[in-house]
Structure 1
Amino acid sequence: MNKKKKVTIYDIARISGFSPKTVSRVVNGEKNVKKSTYEKINQILQEYNYVPNTYARGLINKTNRNILISVPKTEFYPLEWFHILLEKIILECRKHDMNTIVEYTEPNDSMENSVLYSSSSFIGAAVIFYESPRDQRIMYLQKLGIPFIVFGKSDTEGVTYVTNNDYDALKSLMYYLVSKGLEKVSLLIGDQSLVNMDRVRGVKDAYDELGLDASLIEVVYQMKTVEDVYLYSKADFTKENIPDAIFVSGDEKVIGLIRALNELNIKIPEDVSIVGFDNIPWAQYFDPSLTTIAQDFTTLSKEIVNRLEILINGMTDLTSIEVPTKLIIRETTK
């Protein structure tokens, strides 16, 4: 055999005369292998520069540890916070000896063109981002019996999800702002997803508990991009008509708000306080530096991968979890 060619466990088994299962035990460092057998197989492994193949090892061990991370791509996704969380998930998967496959799908892609459809036999579990109503990915995974976790709140029956505690995040933020005398607020939110609806509910419940008039709250949906926020802010805000505070659902979109306020000669935080969401690394370098709600990316990634591990091992009765956030106070609030 050409030693430059990448060999598999099955090649090593044929060369050594031992079964693939025995070779797998040696590759995985298991102790229940006869010393002479171990030495012979190990010598062949070194001779042929064998590199373990995650896919093959999963098939031999009857456990498929290949994780598909499925991400629909649009003109405004994925954002910076997603890349931070993705990196954390991949690193956490490595700690659990899991191989990750990341697939970005375009809006008009059909299931037949997806990795999930074409290579489902190699997928042991999946992480679904940006779930949509009657999501085809979820229906297909359920049909095949492949376990999965959704990131972000889900209302699909029987689905386990990991998300931020968005309700408490915004409720706590309102308590903080009101304590500083900032009662009139505008919320520049994306679409009417479960996550964003939870954020709005947290704001309204805080005002109800504080005995404040709900008319002090302005909720603006469909603020999906920097441009959306910029155009709305430039058209709607004036120096004479500005709320006490503006919350933007995403740090990156705050750039559009700051640009608009600068052009309108509205000062931050003297005239209006601003709060974002995500705590992306460069939020601290905004001018002024951005007060924001920090996602706990490390805990989110651990909760996702721990649940994947449990699902791969055959357990199905899992609870969803909402991970606490943290308010980071910087210069954009009074």
Structure 2
Amino acid sequence: MADVARLAGVSHMTVSRVLNNHTAVREETRRRVLAAIKELGYQPNTAARALATRRSGVIGVLTIDTTLYGPAGTLYAVENAARRAGFSLTITSIKTVDPRSAAEGLDRLTSQAVEGIVVIAPSSQIGQALSPLHHRVPMVTAGDALAGDVPAVYVDQAGGARLATNHLLEHGAERIWHIAGPRSWLHAQARARGWRSALKAAGLQSPGVLYGDWTPASGYRAGLLLVEKIQEVDAVFVANDQMALGVLRAFHEHGIRVPRDVLLVGFDDIPEAAYFAPPLTTIRQDFAAVGEHAIRLLISEISGEAAQNSYVVPAQLIVRQSSIRRSH
């Protein structure tokens, strides 16, 4: 650190303030110190800094072991937001979604002296492990509200489902089926709830729910079941885009044309959705906003400030060809 101070022409204390993101440093001085750090390739000794300041500069993340678009997108957004705020991350993934695994994962994080924890695990079973620990370490959930006393940031899943269902209703569909995600996932529960509420508001009965596991293969299997009763299907709202891809494959194999015969809407707006055949109408989630607000809430908790209990990010309908039946 002394070499950095000498090259930048500042005091040892000023370098320390820059490293700790202290506000009492002029922007010109901050740039000069950062340039010196880069030129010298200086790496701060985080362990020593933690001992001196009782601040580790590390945020822990508990997440599930998955490559699914929603949790993976949320993790990426949280990491970017934490980095911009001057924190690094340590991540613990759990393979089994249950209270015991969650408690073990949280214990691993707290043993690393993290300043706070972000939980990205969209299952109702995880919430049981959070409340007992929240009084000991600042904590926020990102993606779902898992425990009543833990601040949460999440996309309005039910609202997104209502957008999707109302869009199909506006385009003439009445018998709108739903292919849901796993029953234990809060996202799946909320999307099914939003679908039902939109149909109820329109005075319509829910024709039926089929369940998948978020994969294209499960969507394909559900699509084959719908093929058998296609005369009872005007449209399908699918709880994620990967399962919608499987539905498209099943329909295509049996000569069912989307959108001419059946309208289709997914959820997530994965990068490939615009290149499905036909391009998929879907619901977009603003993961960047989730990550930004989650880190902001956590920093407020770390600082001892009163933080709002939750922040809900609106979902957005992205209209493409799969839900628009052209007149001939």
Task: Tell me if TM exceeds 0.5.
Answer: yes
Name 1:39's counterpart in structure 2.
none
Q: 8 Å contact 1:54–1:99 — kept in the other structure?
A: no
Secondary structure, in 3 states, of the residue corresponding to 1:57?
Answer: helix
Partner of 2:313: 323
Q: Which residue number in structure 2 is paired with residue 182 of structure 1?
A: 173
More displaced stretch, 247-256 vs 48-57: 48-57
The 1:22–1:322 alpha-carbon spacing in structure 2 relative to 1, beyond 3 Å, is: closer
1:62 aligns with 2:54: yes
Question: Counterpart in 2 of 1:38?
Answer: none
CA RMSD of aligned residues (A): 3.6
User: Identical aligned pairs, as a percentage?
Assistant: 28
Match of 1:90 in 2: 79
Please report how far the alpha carbon of residue 155 of structure 1 lies from its aligned counterpart in structure 2 after TM superposition: 4.8
Q: What residue in structure 1 maps to residue 7 of structure 2?
A: none
SS of alignment partner, residue 208 of structure 2:
strand
Within a 5 Å distance, the mapping from 1:85-124 to structure 2 comes to 85-107=74-96, 114=105, 116-117=107-108, 120-124=111-115
Q: CA deviation at 1:261?
A: 0.9
Amino acid in the other structure paired with 2:273: A
Q: Quote the residue 2:250 is aligned against.
A: 260
Quote the residue 1:17 is aligned against: none
Structure 1 counterpart SS, 2:236: strand
What residue is the counterpart of 2:227 in the other structure? Answer: 237
- Per-residue deviation at 1:317? 4.4
| Map of 1:147 onto structure 2 | 138
Query: Could you tell me which residue of structure 1 aligns to residue 63 of structure 2?
Result: 71
The residue correspondences of 1:40-51 to structure 2 (distance < 5 A) are 50-51=42-43
Name the structure 2 match of 1:207: 199
Find the residue that maps to 1:174 and give its secondary structure.
helix
In 1, Cα distance between the equivalents of 2:141 and 2:249?
Answer: 35
How far apart, in 1, do the equivalents of 2:24 and 2:117 lie?
A: 33
Greater shift, 22-31 or 202-211, is seen at: 22-31
Whole-angstrom distance in 1 between the partners of 2:88 and 2:71: 19
1:244 and 1:63, CA in 2 relative to 1: closer, same or farther beyond 3 A? same
Superposed displacement of residue 133, structure 1: 2.0
Structure 1 residue 164 corresponds to structure 2 residue 164:
no
Consecutive unaligned residues in structure 2, runs of 5 or more:
5-11, 26-36
The question of whether the paired residues in 1 share the 8 Å contact of 2:140 and 2:152 is answered with yes
Letter in 1 for 2:241: D
CA shift in 2, pair 1:323/1:225, >3 Å = same
Asked whether the 8 Å contact 1:233–1:260 carries over to 2, the reply is: yes
Matched, 1:126 2:120: no
Sort the Cα spacing of 1:205 and 1:50 in 2 relative to 1 into closer, same or farther, 3 A: closer
Query: Which of 1 and 2 has greater Rg?
Result: 1
CA deviation after TM superposition for structure 1 residue 129, in Å: 1.5
Match of 1:219 among 209, 225, 234: 209
Q: Measure the CA separation in 2 of the matches of 1:228 and 1:133.
A: 23
The question of 1:250 aligning with 2:237 is answered: no
Of residues 106-115 and 223-232 in structure 1, the stretch that sits farther from structure 2 once superposed is 106-115
| Residue 66 of structure 1: how far off its partner (Å) | 0.8
Task: Specify whether residues 51 and 319 from structure 1 end up closer, same or farther in structure 2 by C-alpha distance, changes over 3 A only.
Answer: same
Secondary structure of 1:278 counterpart: coil
Taking structure 1 as reference, are residues 288 and 56 closer, same or farther at Cα in structure 2, changes over 3 Å only?
Answer: farther
Please identify, of 253-262 and 134-143, the stretch whose mean Cα deviation from structure 2 is larger: 134-143
Equivalent in the alignment of 2:9: none
- Contact 1:239/1:265, CA 8 A, preserved across alignment: no
Greater alpha carbon shift after TM alignment, 158-167 vs 148-157: 148-157
Q: Which ranges of structure 1 fall in alignment gaps of 5 or more residues?
A: 1-8, 13-19, 34-44
TM-score w.r.t. the length of structure 2 is 0.79
CA distance in 2, matches of 1:331, 1:26: 51
